[in-house]
Amino acid sequence: MEIMRQYRILVVDDDRSILKLVKNVLELDAYDVTTLDRIEELELTNFVGYDLILLDVMMEPVNGFELCSYIRPHISCPIIFLTAKELEADKVEGLFRGADDYIVKPFGTKELLARVRAHLRREERREERYSEIASCQFYPERYEVACFGKVLKFSEREFKLLHLLASNPKQTFSAERLHTLLYPESSETQLRSISEYVYQIRQKCKQEGLQAIATVRGVGYRWQLEPEISKA
């Protein structure tokens, strides 16, 4: 018998009556719902691991626009604003900050459910293609890697380089070999760019507290992606 996936949804609103209403509506549709009525600090760990996030805008001390701008670079799930701010400029601002949709209060519960279902269906289609390598999930359509609770976004060339190393974790590749395998059509100038791609990958991972790509002196590069070890 096939086990149906239960989607996790986070609802953030300082109006507890709205939280209760939305939670009840979504739970009746078999969603796993978590609610927050106040954001004291921007702590990323409070917002990862969800399939969809519903956000109010007019909250204190951190408003929804600020929160969306903070979490969007780190998560790929749909974000929907649920707010009384109804001006076109507000909607544009919300979408500019990284939201995927904007629902104005007061709202109908049927419309809310329809929009939530539509976004989750879209995510199902997006998530169909991924490969799991070395305990990480590689998403080739959006050049993202999910590992250790982090979602890392790369350029196309960075993603291909990291994917090749992860697929051959026990092998060390010279820059020349990486160039031949990944960019055979490119000029010799691209050969010098291998080290630049490695540097960019390392910088992006370091921002998330991860060490990426080991250097074997005099030989080349090999797969590595793990939490940084504190030197304290």
Percent of the chain with pLDDT strictly greater than 70: 90
Judgement on whether residues 121 and 189 belong to the same structural domain of the protein: no
Judgement on whether residues 90 and 191 belong to the same structural domain of the protein: no
Higher per-residue confidence, 4 vs 83:
83
Q: Is residue 65 part of a domain?
A: yes
Q: Name the pLDDT band for 42 (thresholds 50, 70, 90).
A: confident
Q: Is residue 14 part of a domain?
A: yes
| N-terminal to C-terminal alpha carbon distance within the chain | 50
Q: Say which DSSP state 21 is in.
A: H
Judgement on whether residues 48 and 143 belong to the same structural domain of the protein: no
Q: How many beta carbons lie within 10 A of that of residue 232, not counting itself? A: 3
We report the CATH number of the domain holding residue 190 as 1.10.10.10
Q: Name the pLDDT band for 200 (thresholds 50, 70, 90).
A: very high
pLDDT at 17 over 50: yes
Of the listed ranges 57-61, 116-120, 135-139, 188-192, the least confidently predicted one is 188-192
We report the CATH number of the domain holding residue 26 as 3.40.50.2300
What pTM does this model have? Answer: 0.56
Q: Is residue 1 part of a domain?
A: no
Q: How many domains does the chain fold into?
A: 2
What is the domain extent for residue 80?
Answer: 8-132
Give dist(CA 138, CA 120) in Å, integer: 20
Q: Name the pLDDT band for 2 (thresholds 50, 70, 90).
A: very low
pLDDT at 24 over 70: yes
Judgement on whether residues 41 and 143 belong to the same structural domain of the protein: no
Phi then psi dihedrals of residue 141, to 5 deg: -75, -25
Q: Is residue 2 part of a domain?
A: no
Judgement on whether residues 38 and 125 belong to the same structural domain of the protein: yes
Give dist(CA 95, CA 3) in Å, integer: 34
What pLDDT sits at residue 126? 65
